[in-house]
Amino acid sequence: MTTATATSTTTYSIDKAHSEVTFQVRHLLTKVRGRFSEFEGTIDYDQQQPEHSSVNVSIQAASIDTNERDRDAHLRSADFFDVATYPTLTFRSGAITARGTRGFGLAGDLTIHGVSRPVTFDVEFLGSAKDPWGNDRIAFEAETTLNRKDYGLNWNAALEAGGFLVGDEVKISLSIQAVPVKA
C-alpha cells in the first residue's frame, strides 16, 4: 500500500532589495571588500525537511562594486572576470546537510569565469516572518571561502619586498531574504 505525503516545499524568490552578495580579498596589507548589485535566485525550501531544499542563484559579473571605479573596471576586464565573455556567475545546489538546529552545509556547483567547481556554503537559517504587508519571508546567511585561481582568476603583481598584491583566498558572504513566488 502506498501513501501520499504532502510536501511542505515552497518556492521563494530572492528579494534583492533586502539581500546582498559580498566578498573580501586581501590586497597588499588590508582586505578589500566588494559586492555584486545585480543578482537573482530561487530557493525551493522544504520547511519540514530542509535537506530536501534546493537553491539556484545567478549573479551579473559586471555589477561588481568595490567602491573604486578604476579597480572595478580592472575586475571586469580579461585579467579577472572577463565579463564580456563570462557575464554570469552561477550557483546550483546539490546536497544540503543539517548542522545543528539552524545550520546547514549547502553543497553545489559554483561557476565563475566559465569554470565550475564544487563548493560548500556554511548556512544559518535566520527564520521566517510576515512583513507589515502580510507577505511571508524567510532569511538565511551563508559564507564560503575559495581560491580565486581555481576559477582562472590568476592575475597578480609581485611585490618588491616579496609576495603578491592580491591574495588568492576570497571570502564570499550572502545575506538573503526571500518571498514566496506568486502562482
Q: Where in the chain are the domains?
A: 9-180
Cβ atoms 179, 13 nearer than 8 A: yes
| Strand 136-147 relative to strand 103-112, pairing | unpaired
CA angle 13/182/18 to nearest 5° reads 35
Mean pLDDT score of the chain, rounded to an integer?
88
In tens, the pLDDT along 8-33 reads 899 999 999 999 999 998 766 668 89
The whole-number pLDDT of residue 12 equals 96
Rounded mean pLDDT, 51-76: 94
The whole-number pLDDT of residue 54 equals 96
Segment among 23-27, 31-35, 36-40, 110-114 with least mean pLDDT:
23-27
Cα end-to-end span (Å), the chain: 33
Model pTM score: 0.88
Segment among 36-40, 90-94, 133-137 with least mean pLDDT:
133-137
CATH tag for 9-180 (out of 2.60.120.620, 3.40.1160.10, 2.40.128.110, 3.90.1280.10): 2.40.128.110
Cβ atoms 155, 148 nearer than 8 A: no
The whole-number pLDDT of residue 2 equals 45
> HSE on the CB side for 169, CA within 13 Å?
6
- Give the integer Cα–Cα distance in Å for 38 and 62: 8
- The dihedral formed by the CA atoms of 145, 121, 58 and 174, expressed in degrees to the nearest 10: -80
Nearest to 154 by CA among 66, 82, 55, 46: 82
Which triple of cell numbers denotes residue 110?
Answer: 559554483
Looking at the chain, how many residues does it have?
A: 183
With a cut of 60, say whether residue 4 has pLDDT above it. Answer: no
Q: How far is residue 71 CA from its own chain's centroid?
A: 21
CB within 8 Å of 167: residues ≥ 6 apart: 25, 26, 27
In tens, the pLDDT along 145-175 reads 999 889 987 755 554 555 445 678 789 999 9
DSSP conformational letter for 181: P
- For cell 567602491, the residue is 67
